[in-house]
Structure 1
Amino acid sequence: MYLSHLIKKCMNRNICRRISFSTQAQVQERLVYVDSQKINYLKVGKGPKNIVCFPGALGTIWSDFKPQIEGLNKEEFTIFVWEQPGHGKSRPPERIFTSQFFQEDADTGYKLVKALGLRSFSLLGWSDGGTAGLILAAKYPEVVEKLVVWGSNSYISTEDFENYEKIQNIDSWSENAKAPLLELYGEKLLREIQNSVFEANRAIVNQGGDISSSLLKHISCPTLILHGAKDPLVSLEHPLYLRDNIKGAKLHIFPEGKHNIHIRYAGEFNDITTKFLLGEDLSEL
């Protein structure tokens, strides 16, 4: 009863309050209300450098960033992972995705870090999370110290959308990819959310395909772009475009990598990312 009252009070007053609950490995996830929107996030580590991780489409804290939560140095970093509105436990309400959902996630992510009291942070963004991260870094350069993105893009081409069509139906997904999302969302809702994201991407293509290409020139923080050479969703043209249009950006290719390089090659990924965030030499990239 008190918990329900507290939630309503937070929403009515449009302020942020934290409600803790236990999760795997004795790590605490928390709920915070931002503009009356429930946001689920995780905080681990006690290092002086803040990292905020942005999951991909439909992604959650543990499905998308388990190797980083467990593998990154907790003495060097304090790691925050959040679930965007409509993802994981950042619901209800269920979200209707529109052609502006990347911009919405960037703005909500900015409000979240301000609510958490972070003056600055490094942003790690995978896939759709990285796409939103590009917008955040361009719009709010004062808070982003460094940017790492992979499997991300600043526009959607006709070819990209054709690739999306191939996986639009969840029946085409591997069981490993589908099982945790089915457990979280249930089959009916998972199909509805996937269809909503797909139609939002279609709307972006119909409007010309641009997401943030015109904003890349405003990204001023050191930027590292990682990419799997065999990524079936995001072609090599996208990381090359980002490298060429973000001042000083570095690009590292995983020759055998696909879309989930941070999971499949977690050790190498964490090592490269750590060196970049700590300012160590990456001249070989």
Structure 2
Amino acid sequence: MLSFSCKLLKIPSNRNLIVNLCKYSTIKETKIQVKNQTINYVKEGNGPHKILCCPGALGTIWSDFKPQIEKLDKNQFTIIAWDPPGYGFSRPPNRVFNKEFYRNDADMAFEFMKTLGEDNYSILGWSDGGISAMILAAKYPQVLRKLVTWGSNAYIIEWEYQQYEKIRDVSKWSERMRAPLVKLYGNDGLQKMWGSWCDAVGELYKNGGDICKADLVKIKCPTFILHGDKDPLVAPEHPEFLTKNIKNSRLYKFPDGKHNIHLKYSDEFNDLVTKFLLE
């Protein structure tokens, strides 16, 4: 669920990778107004197959999708990546979390693409972004060509809730892991936003844990589910549950992958996704 989870859990093998990924590209960012909300985004490539990239919690264009924006084939694809409402440079206003925030993001993603004039596209959704992407695919099936999701879940179990609580206090994060988010949000802003996220998902858990289970059977487009078997925040039961409940879906696992498989194994990930999207 968390776009920066590998950082927060201090996974040493990913540290240099993460620092490099948080360096911004020279690709131009653009802002647009969508229903009184400022949305910051990039649009790269001239390919006929349009792709929307949806970041995870607190995530942004460059923290979450740099290898995909820069390396996916620009002749085959047009890559659109956004800072979700209230994240990164899609502010003001700052993000407000409540029990409907996943659904609100799904609706806003739909409206964002509609404002850009896009009505037929695929989605790459990571973590929180994958959850909202599944909701969008269920609610607006007419616009989705294909769906790719990883590090995502349709419900929350106790083990996951406990993992979130362990990293609630941002002062306990390592400086290396906290710095990119502090640069965006400030110390107090980061703690407030992260605490609000923890509160919101905590309420979902305490009210049964269901996020979007009923939506899965409504997804009609071909769906590619990927998962890192060593994901420290998403229990291994979730990719199996998604595959079982999304009719036209397939599953691919990275045996040594954690939460950020698209960053750690970007070349393999991009190849797999490219083949799926072009089938």
TM-score (norm 1): 0.88
The CA deviation string for residues 54-91 of structure 1, in whole angstroms up to 9 with x for no partner, is: 00000010000001111111111000001111100111
User: How many Å apart are 1:200 and its aligned residue?
Assistant: 0.4
**Structure 2 letter corresponding to 1:214:** A
Question: Which residue does 2:133 correspond to in 1?
Answer: 133
What is the CA distance between 1:248 and its match in structure 2? 2.2
* Structure 2 SS opposite 1:28: coil
Tell me how far apart the structure 1 counterparts of residues 89 and 66 of structure 2 sit (CA, whole Å). 16
Answer whether contact 2:24 2:62 (CA < 8 A) is retained: no
* Structure ID, larger Rg: 1
Contact 2:52 2:121 in 1 (8 A): yes
Q: What is aligned with 2:18?
A: none
CA separation in 2, counterparts of 1:176 and 1:252?
A: 31
Question: In the alignment, is the contact (CA less than 8 A) between 2:54 and 2:82 conserved in 1?
Answer: yes
Given residue 58 of structure 2, which amino acid in structure 1 is its aligned partner? L
CA contact (8 A) 2:48 2:78 kept: yes
1:232 aligns with 2:236: no
Q: How far apart, in 2, do the equivalents of 1:49 and 1:239 lie?
A: 26
- Cα deviations across residues 14-66 of structure 1 (Å, max 9, x unaligned)? xxxxxxxxx95442211111110111111001111000000000001000000
Cα distance change of structure 1 residues 178 and 48 upon mapping to structure 2, 3 Å threshold: same
5+ residue gaps in structure 1? Answer: 1-22, 280-285
Per the alignment, residue 256 of structure 2 pairs with 256
Residue 27 of structure 2 is matched in structure 1 by: 27
Structure 2: state its 5+ residue gaps: 1-22
Q: Which residue of 2 is the match for residue 153 of structure 1? A: 153
Aligned mates of 2:234, 2:25 — CA distance in 1: 33
Q: How many residues align?
A: 257
How far apart in 1 are the matches of 2:174 and 2:276? 33
Distance 1:73 1:199 in 2: 39
In the other structure, the counterpart of 2:104 is: 104
Amino acid across the alignment from 1:86? G
The letter of the residue matching 2:269 is F
4+ residue runs of structure 1 moved beyond 3 angstroms? 23-26, 171-177
- TM-superposed CA distance for 1:171, in Å, is 3.3
Aligned partner of 2:187 in structure 1 is 187
1:178-214 per-residue CA deviation (whole Å, 9 max, x = no partner) reads: 2211111111100110001000001111221111101
Partner of 1:221: 221
Aligned match of 2:44: 44
Measure how far apart 1:164 and its partner are.
1.0
Match of 2:55 in 1: 55
**Whole-Å Cα distance in 2 between the matches of residues 30 and 268 of structure 1?**
29
Question: SS of 1:31's equivalent?
Answer: strand
Q: Is the 8 A contact 2:25 2:62 kept in 1?
A: no
Measure how far apart 1:176 and its partner are: 4.2
In the alignment, what sits opposite 1:121?
121
C-alpha distance in 1 between matches for 2:221 and 2:93: 34
In angstroms, what is the RMSD of aligned CA positions? 1.3
- Give the partner amino acid of 1:192: K
**2:183 and 2:221 mapped to 1: Cα distance?**
38
2:3 corresponds in structure 1 to: none
How big is the shift at 1:173?
3.3
Cα distance between partner residues in 2 of 1:258 and 1:175: 21
